[in-house]
Every structure is written in structure tokens, then in C-alpha cells.
Amino acid sequence: MTRKLGGGSLVIATHNAGKLKEISALLEPYGMKCLSAGSLGLPEPAETGTTFVENALIKARAAAEASGIVALADDSGLAVDALDGRPGVYTADWAERQWFEGEPGRDWYMAMGKVEGMLQELSADADRSAAFHCVLAISWPDGEHAVYEGRCPGSLTWPPRGELGFGYDPVFVPQAREGSETFAEIEPDEKHRISHRADAFAKLVKDQFGVA
């Protein structure tokens, strides 16, 4: 039997205010008070895992051990079938650009172009099947943990389309919807309903709070 949260405080292993807000809104109905690792001054651990599960657990365990409070972390990314699951855990790394005038940052169009270039190198009609993955890991200070995996299958298109969303959204067409709109062309509420993160959260809520 999976250990239950049972309400109370929960550290979200992130320094991103937007992610804290999103997760807090999802868990508030179940009596969870969410705090961010950033607000507690907790360091960000090196994500040295080779899978989404490993990296989510690294972040959750680090936050739980440092705070003494139950922690929740997520790790997510894009896996392309024809590229043997890449970029996978390196999804964000593929967008990292070199230092330019002292300003580091991410160029998602560069990352999308890298994926497209690799597919074109394989063949003009390469398999474009892909999926976004999300892993949510809960860790208790004593080391016990629970993991929930979500997935949103789809296919890649080119060139990028749409102004909504972020990351690889402009080239990802979700299988769950009819038509050829990308994640960056559909309304955020619709995207969140069918996303990999929504799938993972649905499994967490069902297991932890008994809500289908």
C-alpha cells in the first residue's frame, strides 16, 4: 500500500514561482499547503539521473532531507521514437545556448531545429512519433517515496506553429485531439487537460486521495 500524504505542508522542489502556483492550485483542494524549495532557501541538487524517474527522485529526496518536510518534485521532457527517446532528460539542455554578451539562456527554436535536423538526417519520411513525459515523485524525510508517471503521445510537425505554450510545444501535435493543431495553437486550459503533467497528477490524486 502506498503511504498517504494526509494533508499538511508539502515542499515543492522548485525555485520556479510559476510551477509552485500551478501545483499549489492542483493540491489545495486536498488540504495541502505548498511551499517552494526556493522560499526555504534549499539548494538545487545536480540532476545526474539518466531517466525522468531518477531525476524526479533526486530532487524530491534532496528537498525532503534538507527541510524535514514531505517533498514533491517533477521531471519532464520530450522523447522522440526515431531518436531512441532523445532528447529525454536532456530536453532543456538541448535549448541551452552559449554565453552571449554575458547573458546565458535557452533558445527553444534552436532545440526544435536540432530535433528536426536529426530526423531529416535519418530520412525525409522518418517516423515522427513522440511523447511528452512527466514523472511526479513524492519523498518523505525518512526516505520512503512514491512515483507517478504521465505520458502524452503525439507526433512532431515542421515548421513550428503557434504562439501559446513554451518549449517544444510549437512542433508537437497531441494524439488526444482531432486535427493537426500543435500544443502552441490550442488554449492553455485544453492543453493542461490532456497533458503529460495532467496524466501524472490524475494518477497521484487517485492514489493519494482516492479521487478518480
Residue 161 CA: distances (Å) to CA of 67, 92, 118, 144, 158: 42, 19, 19, 43, 8
Helix (H) or strand (E) holding 188: helix 188-194
CA 90/CA 211 separation, integer angstroms: 33
Among 75, 127, 189, 207, the active-site one is 75
Q: Omega into 87 within 30° of 0, i.e. cis? A: yes
The values of phi and psi at residue 60, to 5°, are -65, -45
Asked if 37 and 13 count as a contact pair (C-beta separation under 8 A), the reply is yes
Asked if 156 and 171 count as a contact pair (C-beta separation under 8 A), the reply is yes
Greatest extent of the chain over all pairs of C-alpha atoms, in Å: 54
CA 147/CA 29 separation, integer angstroms: 21
Strand stretches in 40-199, DSSP E: 71-80, 96-100, 103-106, 129-139, 145-156, 172-174
Q: Is 142 a catalytic residue?
A: no
Residues with catalytic roles = 75
